[in-house]
Amino acid sequence: MARRSGSKATRSSDRRPLKVWVAMGSDSDLPIMEEAVKVLNEFGIPCEVDVTSAHRTPEATARYARTAEQRGFGVIIVGAGHAAHLGGAVAANTTLPVIAVPLPSSSLQGLDALLSTVQMPGGVPVACMAIGKSGAMNAGLFAAQILATRDPELRRRLQRHKASMADKVLEKNRTLKNAAADRA
Ligand code: C2R
């Protein structure tokens, strides 16, 4: 599934905008992984979304990972629940940065996915976000931050996003204080 483009982060060879590949172990993961896609869309970063599984489609997963760089991706986000090996299996087959989101799809509520994702052996790094929706949102932001290291305009958009987040918290605090003053 192709998503829209807009960012200026590019491959050094051809100056086309780098894309983010969002992979998930099952279509049942989509409602949470949409949070990552939403962030990428917000920042105008092109992305493609695929369902692929280290366990159920191991060859296709390895092929996707091995060809990701030549297909124009600069960062990979993976989401998986249960015994989540997707992040490691993808990272084993690429030198692109892999950001993983452990998903709470099993009876262990994501603790299983967290541990199987975060405990990578030395030599095969996978950046592990929080379990669930916040993790997916942060995966999108983290991918944007990686691409922003070579895209000043994207960096400015991230700075504006941070400032607007701070403004919202300050506004909430003002509202809280005003409500407390009204009650006193
Ligand atoms: P189903 O809903 O399809 O049964 O999947 C998926 O990410 C999903 O959260 C249940 C859960 O299994 C996970 N899954 C993995 C992998 N493939 C699928 N952890 C993998 O390769 O690591």
Report the alpha-carbon distance of residue 72 to residue 105 in Å, rounded. 31
Is the dihedral angle over the CA atoms 44, 48, 49, 55 positive or is it negative?
A: negative
Tokens of 120: 């990578």
Give the per-residue pLDDT at 16. Answer: 82
- pLDDT at position 108 over 70: yes
- pLDDT at position 176 over 60: yes
Q: 110 near 132, Cβ under 8 Å?
A: yes
pLDDT in tens, 60-104: 999 999 999 999 999 999 999 999 999 999 999 999 999 999 999
Mean residue pLDDT across the chain:
94
Q: Of 7-16, 21-30, 130-139, 157-166, where does mean pLDDT reach its minimum?
A: 7-16
Which H or E element spans position 21? strand 19-24
Give the per-residue pLDDT at 12. Answer: 52
pLDDT band at 5 (very low <50, low <70, confident <90, very high): very low
Question: Look-up: residue for tokens 């599984």?
Answer: 53
Give the per-residue pLDDT at 85. Answer: 98
Q: Mind giving me the DSSP string for 98-160?
A: EEEEEE--STTTTHHHHHHHH-PPTTS--EE--SSHHHHHHHHHHHHHHHHTT-HHHHHHHHH
CA of residue 97 to ligand 1 center, whole Å: 21
Q: What is the Cα gyration radius of the chain?
A: 18
Domains of the chain: 3-151 (3.40.50.1970)
Residues with a CB atom less than 6 Å from ligand 1: 24-26, 28-29, 53-56, 80-86, 103, 105
Pocket test for ligand 1, best of 26, 85, 112 (most atoms within 8 A of CB): 26
Give the per-residue pLDDT at 8. Answer: 62
